[in-house]
């Protein structure tokens, strides 16, 4: 089963599932909004069914979401008719040229096979001075690495997607190697596996 097939099969259940950690999600949105202006042109890669796009829509000038799962995009597009919010099917390492004031990748990078390729594309899509916000699971450190075997078994059964086991240092290095300058890096929420990073294009 390909990654696109897995997420297309998950689309309806994903859309119906409530946010797992509402407080963490609200904190993520609050930090994101602090970097936005009413004229911001924003791209979200791996936008899923468009929930974050709808939450941030009132705070920006133009918001475009992409995902490689066409069923996810169909659900996202059906949620809004706003002209300044659009969606399209695209892989994370492709998509519109921009340039964008902000690129968002929430809960995405650890699901990609070639993270450096995607980050190089993100850097190319940003305006000089534009910001990249990401939130990624860092599963390559602490006890989280013990999940490798059960996830591998679940993948064979078609019950889990591909997962990259990165640590904080590796993730940060890949972002700086893409030519971006990290301004903020923290666990969000504190003590969790989720690494929230704000990086800016010089």
CATH (domain of 30): 3.40.50.150
CA 52 – CA 115 distance, rounded (Å): 22
Number of domains the chain is built from: 1
pLDDT over 80 at 18, yes or no: no
Confidence band for 102, pLDDT divided at 50, 70 and 90: very high
Are the C-beta atoms of residues 43 and 125 closer than 8 Å to each other? Answer: yes
> What pLDDT score does 158 carry?
66
Q: Where are the beta strands (DSSP E) in 1-125?
A: 41-45, 62-67, 85-89, 100-106
Spatial distance between the Cα atoms of 126 and 37, rounded to a whole number of angstroms? 16
- Asked if 120 and 174 count as a contact pair (C-beta separation under 8 A), the reply is no
Determine the structural domain holding residue 99 and report its residue range: 3-200
Q: Out of 42-56, 77-91, 120-134, 163-177, pick the least confident.
A: 77-91
Q: Is the pLDDT of residue 128 over 90?
A: yes
**pLDDT in the model for residue 81:** 67
Residue 91's contacts (CB-CB under 8 Å, 6 or more residues apart) are 68
Residues whose CB is less than 8 angstroms from the CB of residue 109 and which lie 6 or more positions away in sequence, other chains included: 115, 118, 134, 136, 164, 166, 171
The answer to whether residues 202 and 145 touch, using CB atoms and an 8 Å cutoff, is no
pLDDT exceeds 90 at position 17: no
Contact 56, 33 (CB under 8 A): yes
């Amino acid at each position: 089963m390909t990654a696109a097939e897995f997420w297309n099969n998950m689309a309806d259940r994903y859309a119906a599932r409530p946010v797992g950690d509402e407080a963490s999600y609200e904190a993520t949105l609050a930090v994101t909004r602090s970097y936005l202006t009413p004229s911001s042109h924003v791209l979200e890669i791996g936008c899923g069914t468009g929930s974050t796009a709808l939450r941030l829509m009132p705070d920006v000038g133009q918001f475009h979401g992409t995902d490689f799962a066409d069923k996810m995009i169909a659900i996202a597009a059906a949620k809004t008719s706003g002209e300044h919010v659009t969606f399209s099917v695209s892989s994370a390492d492709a998509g519109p040229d921009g340039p964008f004031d902000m690129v968002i990748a929430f809960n995405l990078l650890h699901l990609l096979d070639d993270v450096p390729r995607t980050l190089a594309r993100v850097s190319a899509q940003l305006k000089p001075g534009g910001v990249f916000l990401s939130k990624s699971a860092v599963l390559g450190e602490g006890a989280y690495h013990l999940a490798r075997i059960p996830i591998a078994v679940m993948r064979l059964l078609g019950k889990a997607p591909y997962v990259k086991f990165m640590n904080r240092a590796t993730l940060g290095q890949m972002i700086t190697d893409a030519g971006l300058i990290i301004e903020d890096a923290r666990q969000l929420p504190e003590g969790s596996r989720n690494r929230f990073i704000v990086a800016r294009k010089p």
